[in-house]
């Protein structure tokens, strides 16, 4: 016995020695994180965390999901071994605190005493903002080895630190590979010619209420379903010349529904960060500038709406990992003088990746310290905020939002419910008919009551936004919002949803899972089956059937058969034995019913061919192209990507586009970028420019193979393509390409108007649609469209060879549905969508963002109809 005990003791000692976290990031990587021109890629970062997890009992590693390109996404939990062993208990406490309907204040006080603060740090969502991902390894190592400016053992006893080293692993890999390829050349630190997220690029931080991306879903699960952290810090980088680090407080305006206690918590954590940074002698920390508190789609911002203390940090950038030098006179005046929100200006000089790592280490540790010192308060306030959400009726607070059971596009409505559930919203379904605000709703309608823990989020998502009229100075031009002024999800998705202000009685049942209807048994037996053009999923099925060589038509007018209205553009499918086999699983997948008809001879119709689709991708990392690609993949639309050379040809080969394509799509992009008449360096810029680089002004950082655009040769080839019957689709800003370079008979009435005459920052506007015309098929007569630097087109009687058909216009008045609009009269009666014909082909001008960030499902049909333009009959 004795000897065995000794052996066990020796083993314990031995494992304690092993578990002393002897591998620092520097030892593992061969360089210190943040060293000039050195970057760890995702495999190395993941490898380091895996190694560290074997050396310390203070850290556990979890896989929280899979990236778009199928990389495992890791998250470390760091605390004391005892705390980590009881992780389930701390989560349980957080869940109890989130629901004050099931937890009394007295219980909450006890739970706050017993529980541990859970905090989340997410790094380098924007992959070119490389520092935080590099920093994460050192932060983990410092925490487990006690290298902190506070008593680590004491603080970690109170805090569970969740650390996501990068929530964009694919992007990290791309950026590091690109940087390493060109380090030591004149292209070092320049922009990558493609997006640093496979679909979204910089817009991966605009996805946090839509959850299109696998990465967003993985981190949101940690935030709102699994761990429920009370503080969430998301670490970014901004432009290079001003402040060194932004930490909250945020600037005006705030989203009005967010609880004041959220802002007090944000300010507490942010101010402590500034204090600790100052203590370390780090100058150039700024608060209250640049970053507003009005936005729902960014990672940290969505946290506020869930009563989580969401913190954004933005560090001054270097050129990826290449240091920069700023002459003191180059520091902008607004960051040169002392101000109360910027009391210790950065004087200029060298700025290195390691500087960013140092600032971020202090800011991250400061937050952990704040959480540890205020643990009990933090947890009890977490409870209090949800209690306020559930019990307090705020000014202008509706009672509920009702989503009627009868919808034009039922499957899209179900998708909206799915999205809301990902954000943690509680939804109920009515078990009986009811009346609310004098309106009748049938049983099966959905009800989102405001009295729920995530009230703020549900409210902001479903209501119509009224952006405050903030001017640069009294009577001056408007102060633009940071991003969208509006996002109202039901409007974007074309889903009917009513705000109900007065309370009402109805028997409700919680929706645990979105109730998808079963496809009706016995359907699909007619000689022909009809797919409703009002339903987006019908288009997915049409694409799938066309790929299988099925015979399809589209109806040319709205008619009635068997007492059912058949809207114009409805797909008629010849129900061959092959279709009988292929169709049922498609209907099952899309939860769709069809109309069976044995005879369609009397329906006016035009046949549909499987169109060969090309999507232009410039070398400027165009996010709208990425989202268009996302929509195509999501809906199963086959397409090929076209680059400059595919359109303009090479010295040896002039392409015959018409031989290979029927439709070519240009996503929202400046015509000069498409043609390549704009200098390549324009893509770089502050705030992690959309193009993805921190390009240096003046010098080209683009390797020659990615320079330029399609040129005049490309324009000529596209013209020949259209003359021979091809269809060119131009989205939003690209409409100007169709107008300027091909002479499409329209003109953007907004060009040249300054902000004092017209201003509409990303808002939702009313448009009137002609649903009896091919591009308007399936659309309602009145629709909501996303206006993002969009077009208001004046059309005119066209010259010879051209025809034009206006598909959608802005109405005479009441154009704004949600957001902010100044100078409405510049829009009224102008066209938003125009279908033009040139010789045998077409240019289709879709002047609004019909597929904006894969969010505006309600206007997808403009694009889908352009891809499925019926043949001439």
Sites of contact with Zn ion (CB under 5 A):
126, 129, 236, 688
129 or 300, CB closer to Zn ion? Answer: 129
- Tell the smallest beta-carbon distance from residue 319 to Zn ion (Å): 16
Does residue 859 sit in helix, strand or coil? helix
CB 866, CB 844: distance < 8 Å:
yes
129 or 741, CB closer to Zn ion? Answer: 129
Residue with tokens 């761990």: 227
Q: Which ranges of 56-99 would DSSP assign to H, the alpha helix?
A: 81-85, 87-98
Instruction: Collect all residues with Cβ–Cβ distance below 8 Å to 32 and sequence separation of at least 6.
Output: 25, 26, 354
- Tell the smallest beta-carbon distance from residue 126 to Zn ion (Å): 4
Q: Which two tokens stand for residue 352?
A: 């290195």
CB 562, CB 528: distance < 8 Å:
no
166 or 452, CB closer to Zn ion? Answer: 166
Q: Can you tell me the distance from the alpha carbon of 495 to that of 508, in angstroms, rounded to the nearest whole number?
A: 21
382's enclosing H/E stretch is: helix 375-391
- Tell the smallest beta-carbon distance from residue 802 to Zn ion (Å): 44
683 or 718, CB closer to Zn ion? Answer: 683
- Tell the smallest beta-carbon distance from residue 236 to Zn ion (Å): 3
The alpha carbon of 52 is separated from its chain's Cα centroid by a whole number of angstroms, namely 33
Question: What is the number of residues in the chain?
Answer: 873
- Tell the smallest beta-carbon distance from residue 315 to Zn ion (Å): 10
Q: Are strands 746-748 and 793-795 parallel, antiparallel or unpaired?
A: antiparallel
- Tell the smallest beta-carbon distance from residue 364 to Zn ion (Å): 16
236 or 365, CB closer to Zn ion? Answer: 236
DSSP 3-state percent helix, strand, coil across the chain (nearest 5): 35, 20, 45
Strands annotated E in 545-652: 552-555, 559-561, 564-566, 571-574, 595-597, 605-608, 613-616, 640-642
204 or 456, CB closer to Zn ion? Answer: 204
- Tell the smallest beta-carbon distance from residue 110 to Zn ion (Å): 40
24 or 205, CB closer to Zn ion? Answer: 205
Q: Which DSSP symbol is given to 209?
A: T
236 or 352, CB closer to Zn ion? Answer: 236
Q: Can you tell me the distance from the alpha carbon of 242 to that of 347, in angstroms, rounded to the nearest whole number?
A: 10
Geometric angle at alpha carbon 29, from 689 and 180, rounded to 5°: 40
Residue 383 vs residues 100, 108, 155, 387: alpha-carbon distances, Å: 7, 7, 21, 6
- Tell the smallest beta-carbon distance from residue 350 to Zn ion (Å): 23
- Tell the smallest beta-carbon distance from residue 689 to Zn ion (Å): 10
227 or 482, CB closer to Zn ion? Answer: 482
CB 346, CB 328: distance < 8 Å:
no
Q: Can you tell me the distance from the alpha carbon of 628 to that of 613, in angstroms, rounded to the nearest whole number?
A: 12
Give me the DSSP letters along 584-630.
HHHHHHHT---EEES--TTS-EEEE----EEEE--TT--HHHHHHHH
- Tell the smallest beta-carbon distance from residue 129 to Zn ion (Å): 5
- Tell the smallest beta-carbon distance from residue 331 to Zn ion (Å): 22
Q: Which ranges of 240-350 would DSSP assign to H, the alpha helix?
A: 260-279, 299-304
194 or 810, CB closer to Zn ion? Answer: 194
Geometric angle at alpha carbon 90, from 148 and 133, rounded to 5°: 45
CB 847, CB 831: distance < 8 Å:
yes
481 or 778, CB closer to Zn ion? Answer: 481
- Tell the smallest beta-carbon distance from residue 356 to Zn ion (Å): 12
Q: Can you tell me the distance from the alpha carbon of 134 to that of 320, in angstroms, rounded to the nearest whole number?
A: 12
- Tell the smallest beta-carbon distance from residue 286 to Zn ion (Å): 16
CB atoms within 10 A of CB 859: 27
124 or 257, CB closer to Zn ion? Answer: 124
Q: Can you tell me the distance from the alpha carbon of 629 to that of 623, in angstroms, rounded to the nearest whole number?
A: 10
Q: Which ranges of 468-529 would DSSP assign to H, the alpha helix?
A: 489-493
Residue with tokens 């791309």: 174
Q: Can you tell me the distance from the alpha carbon of 614 to that of 754, in angstroms, rounded to the nearest whole number?
A: 35
- Tell the smallest beta-carbon distance from residue 688 to Zn ion (Å): 4
238 or 529, CB closer to Zn ion? Answer: 238
142 or 170, CB closer to Zn ion? Answer: 170
CB atoms within 10 A of CB 38: 18
């Amino acid at each position: 016995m004795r000897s065995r005990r000794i052996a066990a003791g020796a083993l314990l000692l031995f494992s304690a020695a092993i578990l002393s976290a002897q591998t620092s990031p520097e030892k593992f990587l061969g360089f210190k994180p943040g060293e000039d021109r050195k970057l760890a890629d995702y495999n190395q970062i993941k490898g380091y965390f895996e190694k560290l997890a074997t050396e310390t009992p203070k850290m556990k590693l979890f896989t929280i999901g899979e990236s778009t390109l199928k990389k495992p996404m890791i998250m470390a939990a760091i605390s004391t071994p005892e705390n980590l062993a009881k992780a389930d208990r701390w989560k349980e406490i957080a869940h109890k605190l989130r629901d004050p309907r099931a937890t009394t204040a007295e219980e909450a006080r006890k739970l706050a005493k017993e529980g541990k603060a859970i905090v989340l740090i997410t790094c380098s969502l924007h992959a070119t903002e490389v520092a935080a991902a590099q920093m994460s390894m050192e932060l983990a190592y410092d925490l487990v080895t006690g290298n902190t400016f506070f008593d680590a053992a004491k603080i970690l006893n109170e805090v569970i630190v969740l650390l996501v080293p990068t929530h964009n692993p694919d992007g990290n890999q791309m950026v590091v590979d690109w940087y390493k390829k060109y380090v030591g050349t004149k292209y070092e630190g320049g922009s990558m010619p493609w997006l640093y997220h496979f679909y979204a690029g910089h817009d991966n931080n605009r996805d946090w209420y839509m959850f299109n991306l696998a990465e967003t879903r993985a981190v949101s699960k940690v935030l709102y379903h699994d761990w429920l952290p009370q503080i969430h810090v998301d670490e970014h980088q901004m432009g290079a010349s001003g402040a060194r680090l932004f930490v909250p407080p945020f600037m005006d305006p705030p989203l009005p529904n967010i609880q004041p206690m959220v802002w007090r918590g944000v300010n507490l954590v942010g101010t402590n960060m500034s204090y600790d940074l100052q203590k370390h002698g780090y100058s150039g920390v700024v608060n209250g500038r640049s970053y507003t508190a009005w936005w729902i789609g960014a990672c940290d911002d969505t946290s506020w709406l869930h009563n989580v203390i969401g913190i954004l940090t933005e560090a001054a950038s270097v050129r990826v990992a290449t240091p920069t030098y700023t002459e003191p006179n180059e520091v902008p005046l607004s960051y040169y003088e002392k101000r109360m929100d910027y009391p210790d200006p950065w004087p200029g000089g060298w700025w290195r990746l390691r500087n960013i790592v140092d600032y971020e280490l202090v800011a991250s540790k400061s937050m952990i310290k704040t959480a540890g010192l205020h643990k009990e308060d933090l947890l009890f306030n977490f409870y209090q905020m949800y209690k306020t959400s559930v019990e307090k009726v705020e000014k202008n607070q509706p009672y509920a939002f009702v989503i009627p059971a009868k919808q034009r596009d039922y499957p899209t409505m179900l998708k909206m419910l799915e999205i809301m559930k990902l954000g943690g919203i509680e939804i109920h379904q009515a078990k009986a008919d009811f009346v609310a605000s004098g309106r009748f709703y049938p049983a099966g309608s959905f009800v989102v009551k405001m009295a729920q823990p995530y009230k703020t989020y549900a409210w902001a998502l479903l209501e119509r936004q009224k952006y405050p009229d903030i001017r640069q100075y009294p009577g001056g031009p408007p102060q633009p919002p940071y991003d969208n002024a509006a996002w109202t999800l039901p409007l974007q998705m074309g889903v009917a949803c009513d705000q109900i202000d007065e309370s009402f009685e109805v028997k409700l049942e919680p929706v645990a899972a979105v109730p998808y209807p079963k496809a009706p048994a016995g359907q699909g037996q007619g000689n022909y089956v009809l797919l409703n053009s009002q339903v987006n999923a019908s288009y997915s099925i049409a694409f799938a059937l066309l790929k299988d060589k099925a015979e399809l038509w589209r109806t040319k007018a709205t008619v009635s058969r068997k007492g059912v209205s058949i809207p114009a553009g409805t797909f008629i499918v010849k129900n061959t034995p092959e279709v009988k086999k292929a169709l049922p699983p498609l209907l099952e997948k899309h939860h769709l019913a069809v109309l069976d008809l044995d005879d369609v001879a009397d329906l006016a119709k035009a046949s549909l061919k499987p169109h060969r689709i090309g999507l232009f991708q410039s070398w400027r990392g165009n996010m709208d192209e990425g989202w268009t690609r996302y929509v195509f993949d999501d809906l199963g639309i086959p397409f090929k990507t076209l680059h400059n050379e595919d359109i303009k040809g090479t010295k040896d080969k002039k392409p015959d586009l018409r031989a290979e394509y029927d439709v070519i799509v240009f996503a929202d992009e400046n015509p000069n970028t498409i043609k390549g008449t704009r200098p390549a360096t324009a893509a770089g810029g502050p705030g992690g420019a959309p193009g993805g680089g921190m390009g240096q002004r003046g010098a080209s950082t683009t390797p020659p193979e990615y320079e330029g655009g399609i040129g005049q040769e490309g324009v000529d080839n596209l013209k020949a393509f259209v003359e021979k019957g091809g269809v060119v689709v131009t989205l939003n800003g690209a409409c100007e390409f169709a107008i300027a370079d091909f002479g499409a008979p329209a003109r953007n009435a907004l060009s040249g108007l300054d902000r004092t005459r017209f201003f509409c920052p990303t808002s939702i506007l009313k448009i009137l649609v002609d649903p009896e015309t091919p591009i308007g098929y399936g659309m309602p007569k009145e629709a909501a469209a996303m206006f993002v630097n969009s077009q208001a087109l004046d059309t005119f009687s066209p010259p010879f060879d051209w025809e034009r058909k206006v598909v959608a216009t802005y109405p005479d008045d009441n154009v704004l549905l949600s957001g902010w609009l100044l100078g409405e009269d510049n829009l009224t009666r102008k066209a938003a969508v125009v279908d033009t014909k040139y010789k045998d082909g077409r240019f289709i001008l879709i002047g609004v963002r019909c597929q904006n960030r894969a969010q505006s499902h309600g206007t997808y049909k403009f694009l889908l109809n352009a891809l499925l333009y019926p043949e001439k009959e």
